[in-house]
Structure 1
Amino acid sequence: MIGRLRGVLAEVEADHCLIDCSGVGYVVFCGARTLQRLPAPGDEATLQIESTFNAESGPRLYGFLTRDERRAFLTLNGIQGVGPKAALSVLDVLPPGELAAAVAREDKAAVARANGVGPKLALRIVTELKGKPLGDASFTPSGPGVQSDLAPPAPSVTGEAVSALLGLGVAEVNARRAVDQALIRLGDEADLSAVIRAALQELGR
């Protein structure tokens, strides 16, 4: 089973990309948010991979830039009525941390913004995600990494690093892409200063 792919980004299409790993091209299906944050074609890309098999479509690879996104996809995909396409749609509008916060608030409307997710399915997602872990966060108001409505969540390293780059005049889309690539290189446990330095290096390439 493939857990990660690292290679040259050969193509980017509407719902998938092609990663060339030593001459072998892997078709990887991704959400729109992930595809927008990929490097330019011809550059090296690293994706966390989840493999699935469907009797109709056969084996498929789904790609994510972080482990938390992959975990969230797995959790969502395990809910009745939520297939891979709907799970990717939810993560397009609500990254893992924001999804956890929406579930904690019981904000069904936020989940229902996802393409193909109606009010009933959004309610099921919010109901079933409560108490389920997602990396350092949990889909419950009392879980670690999620605060109640009375207090905003603590800033993430990603958010603070992006804000720092925005303060330097970097466009938001470029800042987020550089920070994402920096976290892929350094790992999710990297401290803020290291992430900012690595992101600046990415921007300078």
Structure 2
Amino acid sequence: MIGRLRGVLAEVEADHCLIDCAGVGYVVVCGARTLQRLPAPGDEATLQIESTWNAESGPRLYGFLTRDERRAFTTLTGIQGVGPKAALSVLDVLPPGELAAAVAREDKAAVARANGVGPKLALRIVTELKGKPLGDVSFTPSAPGVHAETAAPVPSVTGEAVSALLGLGVAEVNARRAVDQALIRLGDEADLSAVIRAALQELGR
């Protein structure tokens, strides 16, 4: 079972990338948001991997830049009717923290923005995710009579680091990519100041 790949990013296609690890090329299926945040072809890339097996198509690798994204993917695919393609679509429009907030608000419309996710499936996703953990955040159901907005997740180190870089005038796509690469280098337990310093190094500042 493959859990992580680190190698040279050889190709990036519409729905997957190819990572060359010591001469072996691994085809990794990724969401559009992940593909947009990858480094340039020829550079080193690290992806968190979820391996699946299908009787018809055989093994398949799904790649994510952070462990939280991979955990969200596995949680989503555990819901009846949510396949890998739909799970990736949800994460394209709602990263883990934003997905947690949408679930807390019972915002079915936000989930239904994902390609291939209709209103009924969006309702099932929101209903079944309540109370389930997702990395550093969890989908917490609101008590009867309590407005769902009170259950919003605590801001993550990723979000705060990206905000700090935005305040320095860095474009959002570059800020997110730099923070993701910093977390890959430092690990998910790194503190905010260390992540910001490493992200600035990624940006060459």
Task: Establish whether TM, by shorter chain, passes 0.5.
Answer: yes
- How much does 1:148 deviate? 4.8
* Change beyond 3 A, Cα 1:106–1:151: closer
**Contact 2:97–2:156 (Cα < 8 Å) also in 1:** no
Q: Partner of 1:149: helix, strand, or coil?
A: helix
Q: Partner of 1:85: helix, strand, or coil?
A: helix
Whole-angstrom CA distance in 1 between matches of 2:183 and 2:101: 22
Whole-angstrom CA distance in 1 between matches of 2:167 and 2:82: 39
* Change beyond 3 A, Cα 1:146–1:10: farther
1:118-162, CA deviations, whole angstroms, 9 ceiling, x for partnerless residues?
001001111111111112221114699999514754332112211
Match in the other structure for 2:158: 158
**Contact 1:182–1:199 (Cα < 8 Å) also in 2:** yes
* Change beyond 3 A, Cα 1:170–1:146: farther
Whole-angstrom CA distance in 2 between matches of 1:60 and 1:144: 42
* Change beyond 3 A, Cα 1:60–1:151: closer
**Contact 1:140–1:146 (Cα < 8 Å) also in 2:** no
* Change beyond 3 A, Cα 1:170–1:145: farther
TM-score normalised according to structure 1 size: 0.93
* Change beyond 3 A, Cα 1:115–1:174: same
**Contact 2:97–2:153 (Cα < 8 Å) also in 1:** no
Deviates more, 1:50-59 or 1:10-19: 50-59
Tell which has more relative contact order, 1 or 2 (C-alpha 8 A, sep 6+): 2
Q: What is the CA RMSD across the aligned residues, in angstroms?
A: 2.7
**Contact 1:136–1:144 (Cα < 8 Å) also in 2:** no
**Contact 1:138–1:146 (Cα < 8 Å) also in 2:** no
1:30-84, CA deviations, whole angstroms, 9 ceiling, x for partnerless residues?
0000001111111110000011111222110000011111111111111111100
* Change beyond 3 A, Cα 1:145–1:189: farther
- How much does 1:21 deviate? 0.2
Deviates more, 1:80-89 or 1:125-134: 125-134
**Contact 1:104–1:146 (Cα < 8 Å) also in 2:** no
**Contact 1:28–1:63 (Cα < 8 Å) also in 2:** yes
- How much does 1:98 deviate? 1.0
- Count of aligned positions: 205
Match in the other structure for 1:88: 88
* Change beyond 3 A, Cα 1:145–1:97: farther
**Contact 1:9–1:20 (Cα < 8 Å) also in 2:** yes
TM-score normalised according to structure 2 size: 0.93
* Change beyond 3 A, Cα 1:59–1:113: same
Match in the other structure for 1:71: 71
* Change beyond 3 A, Cα 1:106–1:152: closer
Q: Partner of 2:27: helix, strand, or coil?
A: strand
Deviates more, 1:112-121 or 1:182-191: 182-191
Whole-angstrom CA distance in 1 between matches of 2:146 and 2:180: 21
**Contact 2:136–2:156 (Cα < 8 Å) also in 1:** no
Deviates more, 1:130-139 or 1:173-182: 130-139
**Contact 2:30–2:88 (Cα < 8 Å) also in 1:** yes
* Change beyond 3 A, Cα 1:167–1:123: same
Percent same amino acid at aligned positions?
94
